[in-house]
Structure 1
Amino acid sequence: MPNGVLALFAILYPLAVAFGQRWVSPRWLAAALVVAALTRLAVGPRDRLAWMWVAAATLLAAYALFANDALPLRYYPLAINLGLLAVFGWSLLHPPTVIERFARLQEPDLPDAALPYVRRVTQVWCGFFVLNGSISLATVLWGSDAAWALYNGCLSYLAMGLLFAVEWLVRQRVKRRLAGV
């Protein structure tokens, strides 16, 4: 249940920041981000990635608290993209890749012939995080609150879902080809 609440918070975060600042001080929004980050740490795995996200959320929230300004809170989706890019990119340099680890959860005896494919998918996700993070940054720097919320709270998730769907379709073709069908 707590993970579902945290996922909902992540999805609603841009809307809360963009529209919540009309009713509450940015300090309250910053406090909510810290509570969510600490809750994530309490209920999820306490790995390096979790600590990295807590650190990013805390730094952005601390600045927002100090300045009573919501602008630093708008950088959080960018921080998430940079963190994911770092994790996926690191796994390219130090295999197994993130996607290979995910693939082995479903198929522990993943054939060696599939390794170039999972490596390529990891590279595609790295490209996605670069593009998504760049658009997120552009909405922070040049977009209105509404444009920032629309992209970071809706369009980026749709783009991610589209990438998942396309990759799933391509994976089915690759599996058939590897099976010799």
Structure 2
Amino acid sequence: MKKPDLPTLLGTLLILLYPLLIWSAHGRLEPRQLALLLLAIGAVRLLAARWAIKLVWPGLAALLLAAPALLWNDLLPLKLYPVLISMGMLVLFGASLLRPPSIIERLARLRDPALPPFAIAYTRRVTQVWCGFFALNGSIALGTALWAPPAVWSLYTGLVSYLMMGVLFAGEYLVRIYLKRQHHA
């Protein structure tokens, strides 16, 4: 397995810590200063993407949101980054449903190029479930960004959403094991 490069590791770490960093610095630093963190994330994401169009959008989203935060010294654009990421993932996964194979089927074919028909149907359903997750997650992130105190926004975007994602991953894995056993029994 190929080891991730430094920009990919750094970008992942910054994204995971982003809500906590924004919350902890809120009130201590101006939004304009915090926007520099989002600029750094955008630059690292663009480096890691190497200009592959499907991978560039998170970096461009970071730069797009950092601009108004810098210009107007406003915290809201910084809090919208998780919303844009969820919406981007929703578009990416949803588009793969309209133009198959789905994202999940593509990932499954990396492991097993000859997927049986039940597995193709299953991967389509899993892609739909992830679309639902990204829609819900983006909506909650938007609601907390607009109407909740910064600590609630940070708790949701920096912990709760990751826990929900982990539960979804684990639940899907268990269902997949069950279905494989049913179809190979």
Q: Give the TM-score normalised by structure 2.
A: 0.92
Query: 1:42-87: CA deviations, max 9, x gaps?
Result: 1234222332222221111000000111111000000000000000
Structure 1 equivalent of residue 65 of structure 2: 60
Structure 1 equivalent of residue 30 of structure 2: 25
Match of 1:107 among 103, 109, 112: 112
Deviation at 1:8, TM superposition (A): 1.4
Structure 1 residue 94 corresponds to structure 2 residue 99: yes
Structure 2 equivalent of residue 176 of structure 1: 181
Unpaired runs of 5+ residues, structure 1, are: none
Structure 1 equivalent of residue 145 of structure 2: 140
Deviation at 1:109, TM superposition (A): 1.8
Structure 1 equivalent of residue 125 of structure 2: 120
Match of 1:15 among 20, 27, 32: 20
Name the % identity: 49
Structure 1 residue 76 corresponds to structure 2 residue 77: no
Contact residue 60 and residue 75 of structure 1 kept, 8 A: yes
* Counterpart residue identity of residue 183, structure 2: L
Deviates more, 1:142-151 or 1:25-34: 25-34
Structure 2 equivalent of residue 38 of structure 1: 43
What SS does structure 2 have at the residue aligned with 1:108?
Answer: coil
What SS does structure 2 have at the residue aligned with 1:110?
Answer: coil
Contact residue 91 and residue 98 of structure 1 kept, 8 A: yes
Query: Distance in 2 between the 1:50 and 1:109 partners?
Result: 27
Query: Distance in 2 between the 1:134 and 1:113 partners?
Result: 32
Q: Give the TM-score normalised by structure 1.
A: 0.94
What SS does structure 1 have at the residue aligned with 2:74?
Answer: coil
Deviates more, 1:41-50 or 1:166-175: 41-50
What SS does structure 2 have at the residue aligned with 1:69?
Answer: coil
Contact residue 49 and residue 83 of structure 1 kept, 8 A: no
Query: Distance in 2 between the 1:45 and 1:83 partners?
Result: 18
Contact residue 25 and residue 68 of structure 1 kept, 8 A: yes
What SS does structure 1 have at the residue aligned with 2:115?
Answer: coil
